[in-house]
Amino acid sequence: MQREVLLGDEAVGLGAIHAGLSGVYGYPGTPSTEIFEFVEQRTAGSGDVHAFWSTNEKVAYEEALGMSWAGKRALVCMKHVGLNVAADAFMNSAVTGTNGGLVLAVADDPGMHSSQNEQDSRVYAQFALIPCFEPRDQQECYDMMIEAFDLSEELALPVMVRLVTRLAHSRSGVATREPRPQNALHPTREIRKWTLLPSNARVQYRHLIDKQPELLRRAEDSVHNRLNLAGRRGVIACGIANNYFLENVDDGHDLSVLSLAQYPVPAGRIRRLVEHVDDLLVLEDGYPVVENMVRGLFGLNGVRIRGRMTGEVPRTGELNPDLVRSALELPPHPTAHQPSPSLAGRPPALCKGCPHTDTFRALNEALSEFENPQVFSDIGCYTLAAFPPLEAIHSCVAMGASIGMAAGAAHAGYRPAVAAIGDSTFSHGGITPLLSAVQQGVNLKVIVLDNGTVGMTGTQRSMSTGDALDHIILGAGVAPEHLRIIEPTPANHAANVQILRDELAWDGTSVIIARRTCLEAIKRKVS
């Protein structure tokens, strides 16, 4: 046995490799990016694990499903909101089932450190009727990946492993095992199972429903769901919340505790706990998934159930040891590090010299002729242009949403309808709304900020940059004379403003590509 010090994300990646992985798929997104990168780096040169970023999470999921169809083990990883993009393929893969093991590692971001919401992916696992593991620490990240691949092949279902930011991005020692061999290529021949025509889908959905008692039995018997009955006060601690709980109690505590890390929710174990206690605190880093279920099943038994829904734990935000301590009604710890009141605030900002700064300066000046102009933005470094001094963008909702929203505003008569989107986000979710806008002849101005990389998540490869980007835009039907390319530099400022003004004055769909390489990408290339 060897030991390595690993991030939670890296432990997930290594567990997958040691489980006999043949392919890793994903789209970069904090806090999940390091899963893919770890597998890519650890297997580089061996040639036996396919590792190539996908254009978006749906494509990644479908590629992983195809590898599973061929009989090999596939890992698909993404952040929580990425699962919204992949949801169509994800939900239906529970109905087709799998052949080779298929594991979805999804990293949630309670507290929204770098996300638009704090949705809890356990709800998606419940929704799709598939098993879910929620590791408590980095060792379990590793171990549960191996178990998840085995379970996926035993049940012929995709299996989810759910992480949260704090686990994904913290390190601990992990004991590793001997790597397993990869599966041989053995494509499925079960055509009906994989062809979800209604007549086949009804049969497959029935199979999925028939598997549910077995999923529940596995969770009830799981070594990961540990019940320890003691006093009349009870605690359910899910995933990483168990660590926060243990940080606050000593070995001699007399609380009755159910520590949960495998779903579906084991109602039998919860029943035993509820029948034993008068008061039950539920600790979850995410939505009150278990708390609501417990209240629904046992809320009328006279047991006081507490948690996020009753205010002992804040309804929103990331869980932490201090919040758990307060919910346990323990006196606060004297804090080790007091924040210094003299520290200046440091809001996130674009890098000094970033090409986006020059693009938005030019755009702001070109738009200054309009009264209160609003720019629909997308997700990337350029979203930071929302802050002073630029204050150049005024929305950020979902990957690719800038173009669709600007088009919708144009339908309503809003002028000027301007969207700002990065080159990678454009390939992720911007091509289809542009195609739609061109077909409708919408008066829309799309600024594509082509910095040649996925800057925000660590300069991963962009799928649509340079000539490839130009060809896609022309292929979508944008008139060649209204595809303008500018180089955003201070020296080009006046010329760039003029080009933007010309396109704003034209009644049709224009695309202005602001092309200059991300400084971080240049640094990485040089180093």
Residue 82 binds to ligand SF4 (criterion: CB under 6 A): no
With respect to ligand SF4, which residue has the nearer C-beta, 187 or 353? 353
Place of tokens 């001997």: 178
Q: With CB under 6 A as the contact rule, which of the stretches 217-225, 236-244, 349-357, 358-366 interacts with ligand SF4?
A: 349-357
User: Looking at 80, 325, 356, 428, which residue binds ligand SF4 (CB under 6 A)?
Assistant: 356
With respect to ligand SF4, which residue has the nearer C-beta, 74 or 354? 354
| Torsions phi, psi for 224 (to 5 deg) | -80, -15
Residue 150 beta carbon to ligand SF4: minimum distance, rounded to whole angstroms:
40
CA dihedral 335, 341, 345, 346 (to 10 degrees): -60
Whether residue 429 contacts residue 85, with contact meaning beta carbons closer than 8 Å, is answered with yes
Residue 120 beta carbon to ligand SF4: minimum distance, rounded to whole angstroms:
29
Residue 382 beta carbon to ligand SF4: minimum distance, rounded to whole angstroms:
7
With respect to ligand SF4, which residue has the nearer C-beta, 381 or 476? 381
Residue 514 binds to ligand SF4 (criterion: CB under 6 A): no
Task: Please tell me whether residue 122 adopts helix, strand or coil conformation.
Answer: helix
Whether residue 463 contacts residue 55, with contact meaning beta carbons closer than 8 Å, is answered with yes
- Residue 126 to residue 183: CA distance in whole angstroms: 29
Whether residue 25 contacts residue 61, with contact meaning beta carbons closer than 8 Å, is answered with yes
- Residue 105 to residue 156: CA distance in whole angstroms: 17
Residue 352 beta carbon to ligand SF4: minimum distance, rounded to whole angstroms:
9
Q: Which of 127, 24, 118, 2 is nearest to 68 (CA)?
A: 24
With respect to ligand SF4, which residue has the nearer C-beta, 356 or 361? 356
With respect to ligand SF4, which residue has the nearer C-beta, 337 or 352? 352
Task: Annotate each residue in 154-193 with x if it binds ligand SF4 (CB under 6 A) or - if it does not, as one string.
Answer: ----------------------------------------
Residue 463 beta carbon to ligand SF4: minimum distance, rounded to whole angstroms:
16
- Residue 291 to residue 297: CA distance in whole angstroms: 10
DSSP 261-284: -EES--HHHHHHHHHH-SEEEEE-
Query: CA-based Rg of the chain, rounded to a whole angstrom?
Result: 25
Residue 487 binds to ligand SF4 (criterion: CB under 6 A): no
Residue 364 beta carbon to ligand SF4: minimum distance, rounded to whole angstroms:
17
Residue 362 beta carbon to ligand SF4: minimum distance, rounded to whole angstroms:
16
Residue 525 beta carbon to ligand SF4: minimum distance, rounded to whole angstroms:
12
Looking only at residues 374 through 403 of this chain, which bind ligand SF4 when binding is defined by CB under 6 A?
Answer: 381
- Residue 181 to residue 329: CA distance in whole angstroms: 50
Report which secondary-structure segment, H or E, holds 6.
strand 2-7
CA distances from 334 to 305, 322, 331 (A): 29, 10, 9
Q: Which of 129, 103, 131, 122 is nearest to 12 (CA)?
A: 103
Place of tokens 């018997």: 221
- Environment class of 97 (CB within 10 Å of its CB; exposed 0-12, middle 13-18, buried 19+): buried
With respect to ligand SF4, which residue has the nearer C-beta, 138 or 427? 427
Residue 77 binds to ligand SF4 (criterion: CB under 6 A): no
With respect to ligand SF4, which residue has the nearer C-beta, 248 or 489? 489
User: Looking at 351, 398, 435, 485, which residue binds ligand SF4 (CB under 6 A)?
Assistant: 351
Residue 229 binds to ligand SF4 (criterion: CB under 6 A): no
Residue 455 binds to ligand SF4 (criterion: CB under 6 A): yes
Residue 200 beta carbon to ligand SF4: minimum distance, rounded to whole angstroms:
46
User: Tell me, what DSSP letter sits at residue 374?
Assistant: -
Cα–chain center distance at 372 = 34
User: Looking at 75, 85, 105, 350, which residue binds ligand SF4 (CB under 6 A)?
Assistant: 350
Residue 354 binds to ligand SF4 (criterion: CB under 6 A): yes
Looking only at residues 395 through 454 of this chain, which bind ligand SF4 when binding is defined by CB under 6 A?
Answer: 451
Q: With CB under 6 A as the contact rule, which of the stretches 11-19, 37-45, 497-505, 514-522 interacts with ligand SF4?
A: 514-522
Q: With CB under 6 A as the contact rule, which of the stretches 159-167, 187-195, 258-266, 518-526 interacts with ligand SF4?
A: 518-526
End-to-end Cα separation, the chain, in angstroms: 35
Give the sign of the dihedral formed by CA 417, CA 423, CA 424, CA 426.
Answer: positive
Q: With CB under 6 A as the contact rule, which of the stretches 44-52, 127-135, 151-159, 347-355 interacts with ligand SF4?
A: 347-355
Whether residue 3 contacts residue 163, with contact meaning beta carbons closer than 8 Å, is answered with no
Residue 127 beta carbon to ligand SF4: minimum distance, rounded to whole angstroms:
35
* DSSP β-ladder status, 21-26 and 233-238: unpaired
- Please give the residue ranges that form the binding site for ligand SF4 (CB under 6 A): 350-351, 354, 356, 381, 451, 455-456, 518-520
